[in-house]
Amino acid sequence: MNPLFTQLSLRAELHLALSKAGFSRMTPIQSESLPELLAGKDVVAQAKTGSGKTLAFSLAMLQNLVLSAQHIQGLILAPTRELANQVAEEVRKLARELGNVKVLTICGGEAIGPQMSSLEHGAHIVVGTPGRVEEHLFKGTLDLTQVTHFILDEADQMLDMGFVDAIENIAVYLPPTRQTMMFSATYPKDIEQLSARFMQSPMLVKGETESLNRQIKQQFFPLKNNKLRFNTLRLLLLQHKPQSCIVFCNTKVETKKLFLELQQTGLQVAVLHGDLAQIERQRMLLRFANKSASILVATDVAARGLDIEDIDMVVNYHMALDPQTHVHRVGRTGRGGKKGFACSLYGENETFKVTQLSELYEREFNPSPTPPLSLLDKPAYKPTMVTVMIDAGKKQKVRAGDIVGCLTGENGIGSAQIGNITVQDNQAYIAIFREAVKPAMRKLNAEKIKGKRIKAKRLV
């Protein structure tokens, strides 16, 4: 059984925060890394996504935070805006009992002016993406001279995205006496080289790595030339008609291109990549989680941290760059004892990758036949759900119960025809079974919620 958090010498406020959040026992990566981190050592920690890495480095940083000092003491770098925002939110929750701990996010894809203003007012901790942090340093709007804790989160992904130069430039501005922590899902040689440059005699600790799920049905489809890639994907989607499918690409450019191409075929598709504005990303994820977009096209980086159950199918539109990433991708399906299904497309020069995976899984992966071309003549299939957005939310005192009450009132729809309801500050999103969308839209646009007329529209 994993050890208790109460066995750690932490501030009373952090123990209280852990208790309130329902954390009693440490995960393997936490129990391995926290004693070393709390002793002030530099640590490289390898563990799979969702294993509790953020909590580990947050505790080590907050334990030594000087609350009365209004300068930046902690710098956390993450590969994407979404991950940076997730990390910042977790740090804020954990720091709540300490008092007024100011945590700022500074990421690309957002206006730099408001970030500069926020930095002028001081902060204890900054969470950001390498490119934007580097930009602030070059502008002279970010002071890292008193940082005591430097954290690289999802370091392997930052390397894959080409952030090495930016990280090196940022490190120049940091004091030489500091604690450096590096967290990564994999441990390629590049990570070892990076740690040697930025860290002082780092300890390597390992938690749970991505486990092999040999129950997932995997098929591999050879491509004689790259022009066949898109139609092979279409054939697989039209044959299996998954209600929830993630299609992985290796780059942001490929992701954007494939999303537009699939949209043109009439399929309901969502996309995740680093250039999306936050509101766009939230809506894409809602549509996919609500099963009103059957297909999510994403890079590995963009898909990190997603917690969506019941993925029917995973497609590797491009083979993963390494076997461990492949394991992570296909592990999105077949969770909770359910049947999983994964398809991988590969070119002639990638046959060696299939051989590597055969050795890893200890089974033979033979080429599978492409589905019949006649499927391309069939119309695009429709998802079972549609997501409807209304222009009222928490700030208008709207609750999920108010929306259900409106929809199921006189001449409304049945409660069984309503799926997930997500209420945000000024909007709410409702998943509705496709056959009930028209009467639901009429009802929402005709009735009042909290005494006010609201506007409803379908998200596509």
Residue-wise pLDDT for 21-71, tens only, equals 889 999 888 999 999 999 999 999 887 766 788 999 999 999 999 999 989
Give the other-Cβ count within 10 Å of 456's Cβ: 20
Task: Indicate if 193 and 292 belong to the same structural domain.
Answer: no
Domain contains 439: yes
Domain contains 79: yes
C-alpha distance from residue 114 to each of 127, 130, 141, 348, 437 (Å): 15, 18, 12, 50, 40
Task: Indicate if 431 and 343 belong to the same structural domain.
Answer: no
Write down the pLDDT at residue 327.
Answer: 87
Percent of the chain with pLDDT over 90: 65
Judge whether residue 14 has pLDDT over 80.
Answer: yes
Write down the pLDDT at residue 376.
Answer: 94
Judge whether residue 3 has pLDDT over 80.
Answer: yes
Task: Indicate if 68 and 201 belong to the same structural domain.
Answer: yes
Task: Indicate if 355 and 400 belong to the same structural domain.
Answer: no
Q: How confident is the model at residue 2 (pLDDT cuts 50, 70, 90)?
A: confident
CATH number, domain of 403, equals 3.30.70.330
Write down the pLDDT at residue 433.
Answer: 96
Can you tell me the mean pLDDT for 221-237? 94
Q: Where are the beta strands (DSSP E) in 199-293?
A: 203-206, 217-223, 245-249, 269-272
SS3 241: coil
Q: How confident is the model at residue 152 (pLDDT cuts 50, 70, 90)?
A: very high
Domain contains 141: yes
- 377, 409, 433: which is the final residue of a domain? 377
Judge whether residue 142 has pLDDT over 90.
Answer: yes
- 377, 410, 428: which is the final residue of a domain? 377
Domain contains 212: no
Task: Indicate if 97 and 177 belong to the same structural domain.
Answer: yes
Q: How far apart are CA 272 and CA 84, in angstroms?
A: 15
Domain contains 359: yes
Q: How far apart are CA 377 and CA 295, in angstroms?
A: 20
Task: Name the DSSP class of 251.
Answer: S
Q: Cβ contacts of residue 305 below 8 Å, gap of 6+?
A: 49, 50, 82, 83, 86
pTM as predicted: 0.69
CATH number, domain of 241, equals 3.40.50.300
Write down the pLDDT at residue 438.
Answer: 93
Average pLDDT of the residues of the chain: 90
Give the other-Cβ count within 10 Å of 6's Cβ: 11
Write down the pLDDT at residue 307.
Answer: 67
Task: Indicate if 184 and 243 belong to the same structural domain.
Answer: no
Task: Indicate if 241 and 149 belong to the same structural domain.
Answer: no
- 377, 401, 423: which is the final residue of a domain? 377
Write down the pLDDT at residue 225.
Answer: 87
Residue environment code for 83-103, b if the CB has 16+ CB neighbours within 10 A, otherwise e: bbbbbbebbeebbebbeebeb
Task: Indicate if 154 and 138 belong to the same structural domain.
Answer: yes
Write down the pLDDT at residue 444.
Answer: 92
Domain contains 285: yes
Task: Indicate if 30 and 75 belong to the same structural domain.
Answer: yes
Task: Indicate if 303 and 405 belong to the same structural domain.
Answer: no
Q: How confident is the model at residue 365 (pLDDT cuts 50, 70, 90)?
A: very high
Task: Indicate if 202 and 79 belong to the same structural domain.
Answer: yes
SS3 343: strand
Judge whether residue 215 has pLDDT over 90.
Answer: no
Please give the tally of structural domains in the chain.
3
Domain contains 211: no
Domain contains 310: yes
Residue environment code for 335-371, b if the CB has 16+ CB neighbours within 10 A, otherwise e: eeeeebbbbbbbbeebeebbeebeeebeeebeeeebb
Write down the pLDDT at residue 302.
Answer: 62
CA neighbor of 349 nearest in space, from 227, 224, 250? 224
Strand partners of residue 76: 127, 151
Q: How confident is the model at residue 206 (pLDDT cuts 50, 70, 90)?
A: confident
Judge whether residue 243 has pLDDT over 90.
Answer: yes
Q: How far apart are CA 55 and CA 61, in angstroms?
A: 10
Write down the pLDDT at residue 49.
Answer: 67
Can you tell me the mean pLDDT for 436-440? 94
User: What residue numbers bound the domain in which 311 lies?
Assistant: 217-377
CA neighbor of 65 nearest in space, from 116, 126, 128? 126
Q: How far apart are CA 293 and CA 306, in angstroms?
A: 16
Q: Where are the beta strands (DSSP E) in 273-338?
A: 295-299, 313-316
Q: How far apart are CA 102 and CA 95, in angstroms?
A: 9
Strand partners of residue 296: 246, 270
C-alpha distance from residue 36 to each of 8, 30, 49, 186, 196 (Å): 11, 10, 21, 20, 18
Task: Indicate if 279 and 340 belong to the same structural domain.
Answer: yes
> pLDDT digit string (tens) for 376-410?
999 999 999 999 999 999 999 999 999 999 999 88
